[in-house]
Structure 1
């Protein structure tokens, strides 16, 4: 097994710190402050722009951390990661973080975005409106089908209630997946800190 270089140790520590810092900031500071400070449409625009970058980092950084991991001063490499003594303390947490990033990026984010669009237009597709004879009149002023935003005070149409529930479920699942990712990151941090003792 090759010896871990000080450079790879610094690289692993820097990437781990970036991963943990971005997860904590996005989950507990940036997202909450933005939600409270921005009007809902601007908040949605900000989150829509941030999440692809965030989920990409959440996918790539644990791979770099795992590939630069070491044990007893020895670089693990791919075969070392699969060794029984490293499966649960290095491979599993970092694979969990990468997989949860992929799930959020390619499954839950598109579902959330689609549901947000459906809520905005309350089930009417823009293609349908464009093909209709009144499309030119509506496209400039269309906000929602029944004239209420998804976050306006009730009552809402049955369609909007269903879309709000769907959005809440998908958003909640995405938050849960993100929390699993954060727990796995902290778990690996505890493992890594024991190596420093």
Structure 2
């Protein structure tokens, strides 16, 4: 699901960057327009980091984790408690949980930064509306 989400947002960001850059060339753009292009480029960059860095790391970690869980005879039940109990006795699983948490946190941060950049651009666009 996440690769499709990040791909779609990436395509939309690329189109937005291209369209905004075309309509507001850098040399003739006002300072607010330059900021908007910066917000769009940063949203695109954060999204690409999720797509090409964090998603592959997460998928690889998930595959390794499933292998360790099968070896420990856990992972078929619903919930987190069995995994936490096993992580107390299995240092490999505990290390994987820690690494997964770090990767997930960085991915979430990149997603929030991308969302924030797009929110700032939406605010700029909303300010241009004449109702």
TM bucket normalised to smaller = 0.7 to 0.9
TM-score, normalization by structure 2:
0.81
Provide, for residues 17-62 of structure 1, a one-character-per-residue CA deviation record: whole Å limited to 9, x for no partner.
xxxxxxxxxxxxxxxxxxxxxxxxxxxxxxxxx2122111221112
RMSD, matched Cα:
2.1
Tell me the distance in 2 between the aligned counterparts of 1:166 and 1:178: 18
Q: Which has the larger radius of gyration?
A: 1
| 1:146 counterpart residue number | 72
Change (3 A) 1:60 1:81: farther
Alpha-carbon offset, residue 81 of structure 1: 4.3
Alpha-carbon offset, residue 149 of structure 1: 2.7
- Counterpart contact for 2:57–2:103, Cα < 8 Å: yes
| 2:100 counterpart residue number | 167
Tell me: higher relative CO, structure 1 or 2? Use CA pairs within 8 A at least 6 residues apart: 2
- Counterpart contact for 1:66–1:81, Cα < 8 Å: no
TM-score, normalization by structure 1:
0.56
Tell me the distance in 2 between the aligned counterparts of 1:178 and 1:113: 17
**Moved >3 Å (runs of 4+):** 81-84
Provide, for residues 83-120 of structure 1, a one-character-per-residue CA deviation record: whole Å limited to 9, x for no partner.
452221x2111111111111011100000011111111
5+ residue gaps in structure 2? none
Tell me the distance in 2 between the aligned counterparts of 1:146 and 1:56: 35
5+ residue gaps in structure 1? 1-49, 70-75, 123-142
- Counterpart contact for 2:86–2:93, Cα < 8 Å: no
Change (3 A) 1:78 1:68: closer
More helix by share: 2
Secondary structure of the corresponding residue to residue 144 of structure 1: helix
Secondary structure of the corresponding residue to residue 166 of structure 1: helix
Tell me the distance in 2 between the aligned counterparts of 1:81 and 1:192: 18
Alpha-carbon offset, residue 78 of structure 1: 6.9
Tell me the distance in 2 between the aligned counterparts of 1:67 and 1:59: 12
Question: How many pairs align?
Answer: 121
